[in-house]
Structure 1
Amino acid sequence: MYARMAWLLTALTVLAAGADVWVTSAYRPLLSEEAVAVHGFPFVTAAVMGSAVMGALIVQRYARHPIGWLLCLIGFLASISLLTEAYSVWVITADGPGSRSLGGFAGWISAILGGQLSLAAFAILFLVAPDGRLLSRRWRLAVVVTLVGLGSYTAGLLTLAPAEFDLDHQEAGPVGSLFFMAGMPLIAVGLIAAMVSMVRRLWGSRGEQRQQLRLIAVAAVLIALSFVFLIVVQLFNGGVQTWTASLPLFASYFCLPLLFAFAVLRYRLFDLDLIINRAVVLALGTGFAAIGYTVLVVAVAALVNTRTSGFWLSLLATALVALAFQPLRRQVVRLANRLAYGARALPYEALSEFSRRLAETPSPTSLLPAVAEAAGRAVSAQSSTAVLRVPGAEAIVKVWPATANGAPEYEVPVRHGGVTLGSIGVTMPKGRGLRAADERLLHDLADQAALAFRNAAMESELAAHVAALDRTTGALAESRRRIIAADDAARYRLEAAISREVLSHVQPLPERLNSLSVARSGTAASAELEQLVTRTNTALESLRELTRGVFPTQLARAGLTRALRSHLARSGLAATLSVDPAADRRFPPRVETAVYFCCVEALRAGSPAARIDLRIVGADLVVQVRGVARDEIDVQAIVDRVEAVGGSPSLDDLRRLSVSIPVGAVEPPSAPVAV
């Protein structure tokens, strides 16, 4: 109900202001000195409509707020005063329609509802702004002084005859003059007190409230000083309103609704953002529908030559307008946000766009640039950074814009379930820091992006696991190829060894046996047969050794040291074996097998003067083979053998093969081992 009443007063204010412009233009130019300096066009006309609209918006949000009702009443009563003043001047000075008494009565009404009433209302408005309460109980005196001044001035007007009233040439009697002389200064004192009250409120305010009060205080100071200026100038020029005297007051009045609107839109005074936003959307949508409907109806009617039914034409136009408006809806809402929220609309637009992009479940490569861009645009940063930390991998970092570099000045962590998944950082322009509202906005953005960060981290982890699995699969395939190659090589070596060490003794046997059958002497035949038996036994012994594989029986029976010494003795190599006393003991079979294999493989292609060193270093068995030909040994086979028992091999440029295998703590042997 209160809101409807406020909007009704606003509508009447707009109608009265429009009628005033029409009446004024009927008898004098709108930009003449009389219209501007005396009547106040267009400053006062715009100010009354702006005050009424601003008051109605406040009442829409707070039904009983004194500021809203004061602004509504100021706008409405001032518009009535403008209209009656214009009509009175039209009748009295330009022979307008109506009698002289009607013109005088209209002028008298205009004087009662005119500038003094508005100024007194302004004084009270500034005394209670912005929360509707006085600064303290002592400021009631300022309200009383203002009301007494208004009452005194109104009493002076009541001493005059309304039918004979003339705005330009009106002389009051002694009583009326006394009332006028008392009323004007008292209203001026009330305005000055209101200005002081606003300044004191401003000194005691902090943060956003200080920004709001600063604009209202500017309005109060402008109106108070311009009114005092008007009084002083009229004291010197005989009470005549001129450009110099009136324009400062009219301009201050015009600035009042603008400053209130700026405080509302930029600093959220009275929390009217949403109301203004919806009103702008409604106005733009209504205007688009009305213009589109009219244009389509006229265009279609012209095309069909007006013989189409009005109902179907209207239905077609309505459908086309609705279809055309839907694609423009987002732009209309964005424009309304800009008009209602100003620069503060940017964060919400950025968050809205970011939410839309999150709905597409982006991958880390597209998520992080979206987060960085949203954060940068939300707080109007110079640059921004989004970091995603993936366990077991390097952090993924994206910056906005792409050319930005350097670490961010402010960082906000992104957490999900108590786990820090990354961070959002911004670098503000020079001379501007991160405000508390911006910091809260970044935290909100981080909370909104936390789930997406978690999904992206899981996707990155899964991709890393898949890559590791691919590498493992490749390694297994390579290991399989190496095993097959090693098996083939072992077969080829076994075949070569049989040819060299077995067949060399067996192949001559048939020929030698044939020669024995024709031998002349039994003694010679007996000696030859004994040699054949010896060669046969040697071949069989070599075959027996070959069938045991690379690792001789002695390795399992006597240990690593004795097996290596036996191998050196059988092979006839001049290699040297040096064994540390702590290493001259038994080790796990797999360790002994791996070390024996490495030594045999290294000596196979090594120099005759190779050297083998076995020692214990800490908890590792360290084996070094010097004099190794790097290009002639199967390095991969050695690596596979050593890594299978948890060791690590290395082959340096000094023809030295080093193998380190963990064997645990070593206890000194209880008795020396004979070799």
Structure 2
Amino acid sequence: MNGGRREVLATAAYGVLLVACALLSVAWLAAGAVVAVAAQLPGAADALAVAGAAGDRWAQGVLAALPAGGPAGQAVLDYGFSAATLVIAAVLGTSQERSWSIRLLVLAMVGAAGAFNLQAHAASAVVETATGLPIGTLHQVLLHGVACAAYIVALLLFPPGRGAQPGGAARAVVVVAGTGTLLLVGVGTALLPHTTSCVLFFGILVPVAGLVVLPRRIRGAPTATARTQARLLFSVLAAAFAITAVLAVITLLLWSTGWRSVVLVDMTSHEGMPGHGEPTALLFWFSRLACIAVAVAVFVATRRGGLWTAERLFSRGLAVGLTSALVGGGYVVVRRTLDHVLEVGALTAAVVATAMAAPALLPVYVRAERLADRLLFGSRPTPYRVLAGITALSRVTATDAPDLTQVAEAVGRGLGAGTCRLTVTRPGLRDRSHTWTEGGEHGPGELVEVVVRHGGEAVGTLAVDHGAVAGLHHQRRHLLEDVADSLGVVLQASRSGIELERQLRAALAHAGEIAASRRAVVAEMDAERRRIERDLHDGAQHHLVSLRLTLGLVEHQVSTGQLDKARTRLEQLAGQIDVAESILAETAMGVSSPLLAERGLVRALEEELARGQPPIAVDADGVVPAGDGRFPHDVESAVYFCCLEAVGNARKHAPGASVVVRLRTEDGRLRFTVQDDGPGWDQAGTTGSPGRGLRNVTARISAVGGRVEVRSAPGRGTTLEGSLPLPEPDARPAPRPPASTGSPLLDQVRDAVREARELYPVGVQAGALRALAERLDDPRTGPRGPEPAERRACREDARAARAVLRALEELVRTDPPHAGAELLRYRLDRIRSGAHELAELDVLDALGAGELQLPDGERRAAERLLGVLGPETPTRLGLAPGSPAPDVRRAAAEQLARWQRHAVNPLAGSDARTAADVLVRTCERLLARP
């Protein structure tokens, strides 16, 4: 509350003082302008004399002040400086910055505009003559003292911001400094000529005060912006003070030699004191210019943008100013000494002075640049010292990764930065940043950033605040790049550690997924085993026990001679055997179907669905089977069991609804539809994974390269549609089993079937293996050339090989042979692990069945890469057919990098990462093609 009241009172006092100084300054400038104009107009003095004789006291005052007016050229220059000062004050007053340093600077500029205008001092004579009030002393004390005190206090409070505002003892120091300056300047102006007081107080006192205060602000400012603002103003004050010192030496030399070419007419000069007509013009006009330059520097420093560019320009300007002051001052001193003391002639003196100044220009500028850099930015660390500190903190042991926060601190402290940020870039992942801030209190703000490279690869970035790299010396500009180069190994080590950590987490997560999947598979197999045991116990076992009792009764009847009764029992026994066979077939339903093997797909579905209540008809008019009236065994089995599953679901969930089953062949595919007009269900509102039945249907269809889709809506029933690819018909009249198919995968599977037939010489297994061998030797999987146009047929070979391989694996798992089982299982595992075509088919089937979820863009890219749009290499890479080899290799390399990032992405699921691994191998094979 006290702080708020104090702020209000200070603002009110400032407003009153600003208005008073503005009115007095403008009034004094206007009165002085009237006197200056009257002094230059012919007849003006006579007109004023006539008006004064008539009793006009203001005319008498202007007439009395005419002798105090200066030359016309001096008046024009004087009012030009005053106008510029008022314009700068207006710009500062209307800026967005509202700090006390800006407010006080506005007050100082307004006061200085009227205080040091030599023509305006004639207004004192006008007012005293017209009113009889001696206000000249009040004018001197008020405008001069307030202007200079405001300048000093503004410099004490600069740069604006929370950290620059004084508090406690510091506020008392500011008050004492302002009061002391007000008294000193007020008394000094009353005793000294105005030209001398302007030079002493504005040309020397103000720069000295700023040079004393600002270095501490540069070192202790809370932010990089505040330090830059302080450096910017310090550069202007240092240049102004240096030029003033040189001009003072030149002025003393001109005064001592009696040179009257550069003089200033000061009518306020006291008798017997220097200043009236003395060579002080250079110092006076430069002092007024310095006041404007300080205000301009403050305005530029408080702007919202371009601060760092302005700092570079002003720092360079300080070096140029120092060089100009030293070389120019030396030139004037040498020339004046030669001309006045040695009397060698003006032309000779100018030539000699120029010959001495020209060679010294570059060395002086280099030293001035170093001096300016040291004054503004302090002592600079050498690159070796910074790198040594980094090496000490970034040393990596066998068990520790580099602590990049400590490395950032070492770089920041070594460069003298307030903030340092190290960022490690990771392809496909979010960057990881380590930021150090001095004191830990301030944010990073605007930073200078360079790229850190290792072996030509960008591994991260190094960023520091502008103050750490600002400066004039060329070595400073390259130090940050040198430090960044030395950090390449450190950031690469950090990247490796992060990648290993990520891979470890991914591996642990993958291991968990594998364990969960195995537990689910074991649980499902155990449940299936219990189901079969229950069905056998409750169904087939009862009938078999009854069958055994009937056989025992027949044996008794035969042994006792009851042959007629035994014959009757035998007829009953045949019926019981049929029932037991039916029960066993139903128990094994889903594993095999004798009816399907005997009758084929259409007849088996018609007979099976006709047994139910109500019976269901099969519409198979659009079916065009192969020449023998049958489809491949795996196709028939998949469609048969999927249709039965769909019909069973319809009877379960929509009892009484009519069900339609349709089969047709179209465009080389077998299509099937199971549709009911039941109540349906809301697919959009269904959450969770599909049921076990739908998963089984999808798995069966996907296993043979097909797709299945379920559509349903409330009140519209449910429709299941699926399609499977059929092998292309071969017009050749007779099969010709080849010695080799031209497909290494088919040859390997054929050898595995031959080995399995040796292990299963007789029984049902032998018949199944004979069918598998015949399928592999079918002409449709015969030899094919390596031309790109025929690679689609090779894909069908791979599907056939996969189906046979799965059948062999199932056979070995469910009914292992007595000898050689492990060897055959190893052979099958080796075939599967070495056949990349099978992995590609698995990914394609998973995409088609919806088991592998990828974004639309990634899904289309994966399907194209796997040859859905065409088997040619350019087509698979998204290029036009016939693209040149360099374009093909570049596209393959881009796809390889793309799927490698997916393969290591920890956010992707295990299935997506596995599919990405397959696609990576596909890209590698495409790159290896000639």
Q: Normalized against structure 2, the TM-score is what? A: 0.30
Higher RCO (C-alpha under 8 Å, 6+ residues apart): 1
Q: Normalized against structure 1, the TM-score is what? A: 0.39
